[in-house]
Amino acid sequence: MFSAIDMAPRDPILGITEAFNADINQNKINLGVGVYYDDNGKVPLLSCVQKAEEILIATPAPRTYLPIEGLAAYDKAVQELVFGADSAVIQEKRAVTVQAIGGTGALKIGADFLKRFAPDAEVYISDPSWENHRALFESAGFKVNNYAYFDAATHGVNFAGMIADLKAMPRGSIVLLHACCHNPTGADLTADQWTEVIGTISSGGLVPFLDMAYQGFGAGIAEDGEVVRRFAATGGPLLVSNSFSKSFSLYGERVGALSVVAASADEAARLMSQLKRVVRTNYSNPPVHGGKVVATVLTTPELRQLWEDELAGMRVRIKEMREAFVQKLAAKGHDFAFVRDQIGMFSYSGLSKAQVEQLRAESIYAVDTGRICVAALNSRNIDIVIDAIAKVL
Ligand code: PLP
C-alpha cells in the first residue's frame, strides 16, 4: 500500500536549519529562522508568561476538556485585543472567536470553514507570502493564486499592481492579507494604501482573510491591530487569524485564534455552530495550557502591562538591529536604507540566491530568496554578518 509513495518536498526553511545544525563552525549564524531571538541569541521566556504559570501552578486544576471553541476567557480577551474592547462588532455580538492551535491552526479552521460555504471560490495570496499559506489553502481544496505585492526594484509594495489584481478578482474571491509585518518581505502598506485596499475589497465583493501573526512587532499592539478594526468597521464578512507564538514567545504551546465577523448576532451564532463543527472534526477541542497562560496575562492588569513592556522591548530591539544593519553597511559604502523602512521580524534583503550561497560558505545562513530574520541579529553577531555581506556584494 505504501510502496509507491514519493518523498514529499523538503521544507525550505527546515533545510536551512539542518544545514546550520550540521555546520561545525562555532561562529555560525542562522538568519533563516522564523523566531525572535533576544540579544543573547536565545528564544526568550517572557516574565509575564513565567508569572502567569506561577499563578496557575498555585491553583492546580484538573485537565478536563475545554469547550470546542476553547477557553471562554481566552476567546473574549483575544476578541478585545484584535478588534478593540469598544468595537461595534463585539458590542453587537457580531464577532465569533475560536481558540486555535497557533496561527496555522486558525488558518486551517478558516480554510476548512470557507470550503464548506464557498466551495467554488478561489483564494488569492500575496506574491510572495508565508510559504505555508498556499499549502494550507490548497490542502483545504482551494485553487490558490497570487496577487502582485512585492516590488524588488523599490524593496517596497507594488501597490498599483496589487490594486489592479484586486480589481480583476471575481466577486466572492477570498483574499489573504497580512495585517502587519509582512512575512517574508517586511514591506507593509501605508494607512492610505489600506484605505484603498479596503474600498476595493468592499466594492469588489471580495472576502478578506487577515492573518495577524506579528501583532505588536510593527508600530505597537493597537497600531498593528488598526487594520483589523478598519476592515471590521466595513461590516464583514471578515476572517482574522491571529497567533501568540511570536508576541508571547510561546511557539511550542500553539496558541492562536480564528475570529469571524458576521452581519448580525443571529448570523454570528450560526457561524459559530459551523466553526465548532470544523474544530470537532479536526481535533475536537484545543489544548488548555497555552490558552490559560495568555488569558491570565491579558486579563491581569499587572501582567498585561508587563507583557506590553516586554513586547515593546522585542519591537525596539528589532528596530535597533535594522538601524545598525543600515548604518554599518552604509559605512562600507552600501545603501541598504530600505531595511530601515521595512517592518516586523523579516527583511527581503535584496541579496541574490548566489550571494546567499556565498554567505553560507562563511557559515551565515539565510533563505535563498534573500529573506533574513532581523530578530536573529544581535550586538555580538552583527559585525560578523555585515563583514560577510559586504564581502559578497
Ligand atoms: N502566519 C504567518 C504570516 C506566519 O509568519 C506564521 C508563522 O511563522 C504563522 C501564520 C503561523 O503561526 P503559528 O506558529 O502560530 O502557527
Which of 215, 243, 248, 258 most suits a substitution to test ligand 1, by most atoms within 8 Å of the C-beta?
243
User: Would you please indicate which residues are annotated as catalytic (active-site) residues?
Assistant: 130, 211, 246
User: Hey, what's the cell of 126?
Assistant: 500575496
Contact 210, 239 (CB under 8 A): yes
Phi then psi for residue 387, to 5 deg, are: -60, -45
Domains 12-45+304-392 and 65-299 share a fold: no
Nearest-angstrom CA–CA distance, 250 and 127:
28
Distances (CA, A) of 82 to 13, 210, 214, 215, 323: 29, 11, 12, 9, 29
Whole-model pTM? 0.97
Q: Answer whether CATH 3.40.1260.10 is correct for domain 12-45+304-392.
A: no
Q: Answer whether CATH 3.20.20.105 is correct for domain 65-299.
A: no
Per-residue model confidence as pLDDT tens for the chain (393 residues): 999 999 988 777 778 888 999 999 988 999 999 999 999 999 999 999 999 999 999 999 999 999 999 999 999 999 999 999 999 999 999 999 999 999 999 999 999 999 999 999 999 999 999 999 999 999 999 999 999 999 999 999 999 999 999 999 999 999 999 999 999 999 999 999 999 999 999 999 999 999 999 999 999 999 999 999 999 999 889 999 999 999 999 999 999 999 999 999 999 999 999 999 999 999 999 999 999 999 999 999 999 999 999 999 999 999 999 999 999 999 999 999 999 999 999 999 999 999 999 999 999 999 999 999 999 999 999 999 999 999 999
Residue 255 CA: nearest ligand 1 atom is: 15
In the chain, where the domains are located: 12-45+304-392, 65-299
Q: Whose CA is nearest to atom 12 of ligand 1?
A: 103
Residue 105 CA: nearest ligand 1 atom is: 16
